[in-house]
Amino acid sequence: MAQDTYWGSFDEISKYNIQLNYFERLWAAWYAYMQNDVLATGIMSFTMHELVYFGRSLPWIIVDAIPYFRKYKIQQHKIPTAYEQWQCAFLVLLSHFTVELPQIWLFHPMCQYFGLSTGVPFPSIYKMAFQIGVFFVMEDAWHYWMHRAMHWGPLYKNIHKIHHQYSAPFGLAAEYASPIEVMVLGLGTVSSPILFCAITKDLHILTMYLWIVFRLFQAIDAHSGYEFPWSLHHFLPFWAGAEHHDVHHERFIGNYASSFRWWDYFLDTEAGPEASKRRREAKLAKAKKVS
Ligand SMILES: [Zn+2]
Ligand SMILES: [Zn+2]
Alpha-helix runs per DSSP H in the chain: 6-16, 22-34, 37-65, 82-95, 101-113, 125-150, 153-158, 179-200, 205-222, 241-251, 262-266, 273-290
Mean pLDDT of 90-113: 91
Looking at the predicted structure, is the pLDDT value of residue 2 above 60? no
Count CA atoms closer than 13 A to 249's CA, side-chain side. Answer: 26
Q: Could you report the per-residue pLDDT of 132-163, keeping only the tens digit for each? A: 999 999 999 999 999 999 999 999 999 999 99
Looking at the predicted structure, is the pLDDT value of residue 273 above 90? no
Between the CA of 191 and the centroid of ligand 1 the distance, in Å, is: 21
Query: Which pLDDT value is given to residue 99?
Result: 87
Which one of the ligands is nearest to 251 CA?
Answer: 1
Mean pLDDT of 30-55: 94
By the 8 A CB rule, do 49 and 216 touch? Answer: yes
Between the CA of 17 and the centroid of ligand 2 the distance, in Å, is: 45
Q: What CA–CA distances, in Å, run from 116 to 122, 168, 199, 205? A: 12, 39, 11, 6
Which one of the ligands is nearest to 169 CA?
Answer: 2
Mean pLDDT of 51-64: 95
Residue 223's pLDDT band (cuts 50, 70, 90): very high
Residue 20's pLDDT band (cuts 50, 70, 90): very high
Between the CA of 117 and the centroid of ligand 2 the distance, in Å, is: 33
Between the CA of 232 and the centroid of ligand 1 the distance, in Å, is: 22
Between the CA of 32 and the centroid of ligand 2 the distance, in Å, is: 40
Q: Can you spell out the DSSP letters for 141-163?
A: HHHHHHHHHHTSHHHHHHTGGGG
Looking at the predicted structure, is the pLDDT value of residue 3 above 70? no
